[in-house]
């Protein structure tokens, strides 16, 4: 499943080093399979964005976010500030609209 345009923009912004944006995209697309549980959740923008937001532009921090999510996906959402019912507004604030 491809990533949404606003998440793609954020990845390019946060991971400008050569090859890093491509690695992050690959890791996010592979999330549903690598997590081993809750395929639907890890294929959604909320979970993918949580990884990017929590990482703060650091590729090693994406790996740490994956480990956190593997233990409990709720901790991932809490860490990224996407655990509460206002998460759609927070995504809009962090990622912007779907179209530029």
Mean pLDDT of 52-78: 94
For residues 89 and 51, the answer to whether their CB atoms sit within 8 Å is no
Q: Which two tokens stand for residue 70?
A: 């593997």
- Nearest residue to 36 (alpha-carbon basis) of 3, 82, 69: 69
Residue 100 is predicted with a pLDDT of: 67
Average pLDDT of the segment spanning 63-81: 93
DSSP 17: S
- Taking all residues of the chain, what is their mean pLDDT, rounded to a whole number? 93
pLDDT of 57 over the 70 cut? yes
The stretch 12-17 carries a mean pLDDT of: 96
User: Helix, strand or coil for residue 55?
Assistant: helix
| Every domain of the chain and the residues it spans | 5-94
Terminal C-alpha separation, the chain: 21
């Amino acid at each position: 499943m491809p990533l949404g345009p606003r998440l793609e923009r954020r990845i390019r912004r946060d991971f400008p080093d050569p090859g890093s944006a491509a690695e992050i995209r690959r890791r996010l697309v592979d999330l549903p399979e690598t997590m081993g549980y809750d395929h639907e959740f890890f294929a959604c923008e909320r979970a993918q964005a949580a990884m990017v937001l929590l990482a703060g532009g650091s590729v090693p921090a994406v790996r740490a976010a994956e480990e956190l999510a593997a233990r409990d996906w709720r901790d991932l959402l809490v860490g990224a500030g996407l655990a509460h019912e206002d998460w759609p507004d927070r995504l809009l604030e962090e990622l912007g609209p779907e179209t530029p």
